[in-house]
Amino acid sequence: MSEKLNKRKIEKDWLNVFTDFAKYLPMNFIKRKGSFLVGIYLQPILSSTRYRVCFYVYDLMYDLEIPTVPLTSSVELKNKKGATNSFSMQEHNNSFEKIVQDLKNQVPLLQKEDFSYQELASYMKSVVDEINGETTLRDIVLLNYWCGNTEQAEKKIKKGKEIILKWSERVTKSFGGAENWENQVRTLMNKDTLSKTISEQLQKYELENIEDYGLN
């Protein structure tokens, strides 16, 4: 029988490396960067005998109405063949430093304690796909707008529409297509409204007291 994961040890090991992250839920750590949360989720699989590593970014400026912080704009740690990797307790104990380094190589944002909003936008751009891409494209616009770069926000609206127009109707039907996406984004571009949404979401997820590392 495969060894069960020692989740307490795994959590401790990860938090000892990423000291600016806080435990949010079991095997799930987050860090607040202004209007965004970045997170590392260690997903137990196969009856908790192995775990996968997922990095995600969540925009506090838009409420997806989900009871726990959603794993949006996410990537899973891959192996050399490009398949999602997973680790047993023994592999964790023997190769933890390599697992962390592989994640940092795949997600450059984790290579340093601080990163700019431009670097965050660049990461999100890299994970846009047809599955949940309209969410990430919207978040890139709001990120630029919130950080005062309205010119770049306008460019990202234009680019977002160009990307969405290339997607199939089967994908865009759920959110009404490029024009509807633009209208929704523009409706959200109000700093008072966004600030209110941020406060409400921090309260909903019980994160009011989490340290804010800021986003410049």
pLDDT in tens, the chain (216 residues): 689 999 999 999 999 999 999 999 999 999 999 999 999 999 999 999 999 999 999 999 999 999 999 999 999 999 999 999 999 999 999 999 999 999 999 999 999 889 999 999 999 999 998 887 999 999 999 999 999 999 999 999 999 999 999 999 999 999 999 999 999 999 999 999 999 999 999 999 999 999 999 998
pLDDT score recorded for residue 68: 96
The CB-side HSE value for 180 (13 A sphere, CA atoms) comes to 8
pLDDT score recorded for residue 1: 64
Q: Where are the domains of the chain?
A: 7-111, 117-204
Pairing of strands 28-33, 22-25: antiparallel
| Furthest CA-CA distance within the chain | 58
- Return the H-helix or E-strand segment holding 42: strand 36-45
pLDDT score recorded for residue 40: 98
Residue 58, classed as helix, strand or coil, is strand
Pairing of strands 50-59, 36-45: antiparallel
